[in-house]
C-alpha cells in the first residue's frame, strides 16, 4: 500500500481518521501504532515481525542505556545495539551484491559460483534503523530520557506517514507531541493542503516522467540527446517523487498534530555542493553530520582528517542508499570528492566563483551524478556518460522518440516552473491580478483531483525511495 493507491486514499486513510478522531486522547498513540503496523503488514506480514523485533530491541536497549546499573557498560551496550542494527541493514541491503560480486570473481578464476536465493529488501528498513540508532545515541548522550511506554515509542518509530521514506525523525523532535497533542481544524486543513501538494508533485510530475526515464536508462546504445534527456528527466523525477513523499508525510503528520521539520529547501537552486546538502534530504544530511561526521572528528583534527571524514561519511551515505550494485557507493564517493574540492577551494583562498557560475556548476554536477545513482549497473552509467560527452552520436534514438509524448513535455515544463519559481522576486507575484493569485491558492485541490483521476486510470506508481 502506498500513499497514491486507491486502497490508501479511499479505505485506509478515511477509516484511520474516523477511529483516531473517535478515540480518547490517551488511546491515540495506540491507534496510530496499530494502523501503522497494518499499513506495513499490508506489504509483508513476515517483515512486519522483523520490524516489531527492531522496535522491541531499540526500546529495551534505550531503557537499559538509561538505567543507573548499566552506566558502567553503557558504551559497550550502545556499540552492541548499533552493531546489531547496522548488521541487519547490511544483510538486507548488501548480501545480494556481495554474493554476486564473489560469484563473478569466482567464475573469472574458473570456480563455480555460489548458489544463492536473493534476499528481499524490506521497505523503509533504512529509515527505521537510522531513527532507532539516533534514539539510542541520544539516550546515551543524555539528550533525551528513555521512553518507558512501549506504545509511545512504537508510535514514534512506526508512524505510517513517514515510515517508508522519511523524513528521518529524531525522538526529541516529536517527544512532546507524542505525549500531548490535539486535533484542530487549522492544523488539519494546512496538513491536508500540504498532502495534496505532495501528491500532485508525485503523480503529475514524477510519475508522468517515469516512462521517459525507464526508456532512456535501458537503451543499449544511447545518443547525446537520449542521455541528456534521461539525465534531466530523472533529476526532475527523483526530486518531485521524494520531495512529494516528504510533503505528504509532513502533511499527514500535521493533520494529526505533529510538526515535522522540512526535508527539502529548493536543492536545485543551491549555490555550492555544500549548500546542496544543506537543502537536499535535510533530515539525512543532519543525521550524517551529527551521528557520523562529528563523532569521527569532523573538521577539528586537521585538514587531512577532515577530508578523510568527508569521504567516509559520504561513502557510507552512498551505501545507505544502495542494495542492487556498487553504483551507490560510487555516487557517494563522487559527492565526497566534490565536498573535499569545494572545501579546498575555499580554505586555500582561491578566487571566488561568480554566483551564477557556481549554481550552474553545482546543478550540472548533481544531475550528472544522478546518472550513476539511477543506472542499473556501472556499464550502463559509463555508456550514458560517453553519450553525454558526444561520443555516441548526437541524434535521439527511435525508442525514446516513440516513447516521448506531449504529457511528458508538459510534466517537465511544470517541474521546471516549480523549481524556478522560488528564484523569482516576490514583487513578481505581488503584481499578479488578484483573481490569478486566488486561483493559485486553490491549485492544490485541483492538482489532487487530477492526480486522483490519473491514479484511477493508470494505477499507483511506487515511490522511488521505497527501494532504499
* Residue given cell 539528550 in the structure block: 143
Which helix H or strand E contains 442, and what residues bound it? Answer: none
C-beta neighbour count of 351 within 10 angstroms: 6
Crossing angle for the helix pair 74-108 and 125-141, nearest 10 degrees?
Answer: 150
Q: Are 336 and 310 in contact (CB under 8 A)?
A: yes
What is the C-alpha to C-alpha distance for residues 249 and 433, in angstroms, rounded to an integer? 33
Q: Are 36 and 252 in contact (CB under 8 A)?
A: no
Given 281, 321, 335, 408, the catalytic residue: 321
Closest CA to 157 of 59, 90, 242: 59
Which residues, at least 6 apart from 325, have a Cβ–Cβ distance to it below 8 Å?
97, 376, 377, 378
What is the C-alpha to C-alpha distance for residues 159 and 154, in angstroms, rounded to an integer? 8
What is the C-alpha to C-alpha distance for residues 235 and 43, in angstroms, rounded to an integer? 28
> 3-class DSSP state for residue 406?
helix
CA angle centred on 76, ends 73 and 79, rounded to 5° = 145
C-beta neighbour count of 402 within 10 angstroms: 9
Q: Are 262 and 250 in contact (CB under 8 A)?
A: yes
Closest CA to 255 of 200, 182, 151, 155: 182
Q: What is the DSSP string of 46-72?
A: HHHHHHHHHHHHHHHHHHHHHSGGGGG
* Residue given cell 505532495 in the structure block: 198
Instruction: Give 163's DSSP letter.
Output: T
Does the annotation count 259 as an active-site position?
no
Which residues, at least 6 apart from 56, have a Cβ–Cβ distance to it below 8 Å?
150
Active site members: 321
Amino acid at each position: 500500500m502506498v500513499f497514491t493507491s486507491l486502497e490508501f486514499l479511499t479505505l485506509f486513510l478515511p477509516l484511520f481518521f474516523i477511529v483516531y478522531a473517535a478515540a480518547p486522547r490517551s488511546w491515540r498513540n495506540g491507534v496510530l501504532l496499530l494502523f501503522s503496523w497494518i499499513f506495513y503488514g499490508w506489504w509483508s506480514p513476515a517483515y512486519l515481525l522483523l520490524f516489531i523485533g527492531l522496535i522491541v530491541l531499540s526500546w529495551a536497549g534505550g531503557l537499559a542505556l538509561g538505567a543507573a546499573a548499566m552506566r558502567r557498560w553503557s558504551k559497550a551496550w550502545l556499540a552492541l545495539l548499533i552493531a546489531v542494527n547496522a548488521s541487519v541493514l547490511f544483510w538486507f541491503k548488501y548480501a545480494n551484491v556481495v554474493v554476486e560480486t564473489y560469484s563473478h570473481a569466482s567464475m573469472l578464476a574458473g570456480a563455480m559460483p555460489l548458489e544463492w536465493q536473493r534476499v528481499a529488501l524490506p521497505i523503509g528498513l533504512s529509515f527505521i534503523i537510522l531513527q532507532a540508532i539516533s534514539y539510542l545515541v541520544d539516550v546515551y548522550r543524555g539528550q533525551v530520557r528513555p521512553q518507558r511506554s512501549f506504545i509511545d515509542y512504537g508510535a514514534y518509530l512506526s508512524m505510517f506517514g513517514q515510515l517508508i521514506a522519511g523524513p528521518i525523525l529524531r525522538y526529541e523532535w516529536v517527544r512532546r507531541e507524542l505525549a500531548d497533542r490535539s486535533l484542530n481544524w487549522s492544523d488539519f486543513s494546512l496538513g491536508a493542503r500540504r498532502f495534496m501538494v505532495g501528491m500532485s508533485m508525485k503523480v503529475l510530475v514524477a510519475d508522468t516522467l517515469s516512462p521517459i526515464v525507464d526508456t532512456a536508462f535501458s537503451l543499449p546504445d544511447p545518443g547525446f540527446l537520449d542521455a541528456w534527456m534521461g539525465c534531466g528527466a530523472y533529476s526532475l523525477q527523483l526530486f518531485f517523487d521524494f520531495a512529494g513523499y516528504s510533503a505528504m508525510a509532513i502533511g499527514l503528520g500535521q493533520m494529526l498534530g505533529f510538526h515535522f521539520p522540512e526535508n527539502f529547501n529548493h536543492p536545485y537552486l543551491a549555490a555550492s555542493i555544500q549548500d546542496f546538502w544543506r537543502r537536499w534530504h535535510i533530515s539525512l544530511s543532519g543525521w550524517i553530520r551529527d551521528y557520523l561526521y562529528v563523532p569521527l572528528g569532523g573538521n577539528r583534527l586537521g585538514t587531512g582528517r577532515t577530508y578523510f571524514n568527508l569521504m567516509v561519511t559520504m561513502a557510507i551515505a552512498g551505501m545507505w542508499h544502495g542494495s542492487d550494485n556498487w553504483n551507490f557507493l560510487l555516487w557517494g564517493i563522487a559527492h565526497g570528492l566534490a565536498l573535499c574540492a569545494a572545501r579546498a577551494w575555499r580554505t586555500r583562498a582561491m578566487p571566488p566563483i561568480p554566483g551564477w557560475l557556481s549554481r550552474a556548476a553545482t546543478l550540472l554536477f548533481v544531475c550528472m551524478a544522478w546518472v550513476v545513482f539511477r543506472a542499473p549497473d556501472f556499464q550502463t552509467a559509463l555508456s550514458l556518460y560517453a553519450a553525454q560527452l558526444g561520443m555516441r552520436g548526437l541524434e535521439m534514438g527511435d525508442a525514446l522518440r516513440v516513447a516521448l509524448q506531449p504529457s511528458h513535455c508538459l510534466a517537465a515544463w511544470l517541474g521546471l516552473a516549480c523549481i524556478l519559481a522560488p528564484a523569482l522576486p516576490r514583487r513578481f507575484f505581488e503584481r499578479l491580478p488578484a483573481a490569478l493569485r486566488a486561483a493559485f491558492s486553490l491549485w492544490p485541490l485541483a492538482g489532487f483531483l487530477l492526480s486522483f483521476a490519473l491514479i484511477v486510470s493508470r494505477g499507483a506508481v511506487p515511490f522511488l525511495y521505497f527501494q532504499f
